[in-house]
Structure 1
């Protein structure tokens, strides 16, 4: 286990240092629609929003909308943005320190409306955007601690790739295959069942999207193997594919999911 708030604070410090060293109008390779200045503002507004959610006690969608409307305006330059980032990160860390994981709090993930969701999500938000900043600045990428990377893998699978399952009317249609993610440094193996999320959205549009669910006690047909950091960065679209072996159709199903991207 690790101290989530300490990771958020440390990763945000690294993020800010990388932003300061970069050409602020340079593109961010892992977030192609953003410049470095856009990336700086993104993490700033994210921390401001979630500090507001926790500080206000927001639970309902109306509460969330009020917090969204009260967010600070984007400053006119990156130094001012980073100063605001410092303030909002302090506010977020303070609120997380005051609240227990099982307390109710609004989130965008329908099946987990707790402070704990925000605590976990903001660790991986800070880690991945720190990597974005370092890549944009042409800096060496700071390693992710194995425990944080392993948690990032689980979060990607159970939240970032699974949100379709929180929507009314959507069902997971599994394939017949099982894929293993073998973490060579932590010794953990995570088993996945690839498949498709299918359903009709509120707009009336039909969807058929790649997905995976975690499973246990099944023999894998294929697998990817690498350190926890390697697998974590790959799943979040910040690194190359780990070593792959086994049934090509099963591997492709997971690759198709990862190709959807997480920004």
Structure 2
């Protein structure tokens, strides 16, 4: 996806997130236990602020979170920090250097992608909390979100911080997973200290196959499905193998 497309998706999902939170600030967020929609708005606002300050300062802010952000009304904070984030993106090129936690990509473009994906997931959180229909995720954004989750979050985390995954992968017999959606597929391999991702399904039969429409697969992998509703995702494979993948994702994204 082009940088301009990420920014367009960010704008659309921000508008939807803000509208849903504004309509029902006290709704409990089932996918973020203990949070209300107001807490969700504060969290997203602080995420926007953290990335904006990181780009401006060239590193981590000295004080986090800033006291004024903790005291500010959540929707006012969300509006202010979103405006600042967009201004920061507008002032920079996607290829400009900036610090990120993902070693292979130290550019502003990384944060444009990450904030688009962060916002769509939390927009879904707000909709689930308010009991509103979950608006469709554009197919290109959903496919990119699956790709980011598997490669940037999980594969990179296992490679860089393997100790966090020891309890999950140390006893793994070595498994293969196919994640498939419209027009895209990924082959995941696991084992002791191992989580690799390649594009495509591969030639061998997988131990587990996860397939469905892009939005449904994205929501399944991010644990953002609606309780009691058909997910649209088909999962085939042994429960213990499915659980291994789930635990890797949860650990990498918590």
What is the alpha-carbon distance in structure 1 between the residues aligned to residue 154 and residue 253 of structure 2? 9
2:212 to 208, 212, 226: 226
Among residues 143, 155, 158, which one is paired with 1:164 in the alignment?
158
Unpaired segments ≥5 residues, structure 2: 226-230
What corresponds to 1:64 in structure 2?
Answer: 60
**Which of the numbers 142, 153, 156 marks the counterpart of 1:149?**
142
> Structure 1 residue 74 and structure 2 residue 65: aligned?
no
In the other structure, the counterpart of 2:94 is 101
| Cα contact 1:178–1:218 (8 A) shared by 2 | no
Q: Secondary structure at the match of 2:196?
A: strand
State the TM-score, normalized to the length of structure 1. Answer: 0.79
Report the count of equivalent residues: 239
2:234 aligned partner: 243
Give the stretch that moved more between structures: 91-100 or 39-48: 91-100
Q: Which residue does the alignment assign to 1:44?
A: 45
- 1:38-97 deviations in whole A, cap 9, x for unaligned? 1110011111111122233x1xxxx31337465742245xxx321232221122122122
Instruction: Find the counterpart in structure 1 of residue 16 from structure 2.
Output: 14
Paired position in structure 1 for 2:29: 28
Structure number having the greater strand percentage:
1
* Partners of 2:96 and 2:187 in 1: CA distance: 30
Secondary structure at 1:161 match in 2: helix
Could you say which residue in structure 2 is the equivalent of 1:55?
Answer: 56
Once the two structures are superposed, the pairs formed by residues 194-233 of structure 1 within 5 Å of their partners are 194-197=190-193, 212-215=195-198, 217-221=202-206, 222-233=208-219
Please give the alpha-carbon distance, in whole angstroms, between the structure 1 residues aligned to 2:93 and 2:243. Answer: 40
Q: Contact 1:50–1:118 (CA<8 Å) still a contact in 2?
A: yes
| Rounded Cα–Cα distance in structure 2 between residues aligned with 1:27 and 1:69 | 23
| Contact residue 177 and residue 193 of structure 1 kept, 8 A | yes
RMSD value, Cα:
2.8
Q: Which has the larger helix fraction?
A: 2
Residue 207 of structure 1 corresponds to none
- Counterparts of 2:122 and 2:132, CA distance in 1: 14
Q: Which stretches in structure 1 are left out of the alignment for 5+ residues?
A: 198-210
When residues 167 and 259 of structure 1 are mapped into structure 2, their CA distance, relative to the original with a 3 A threshold, is closer
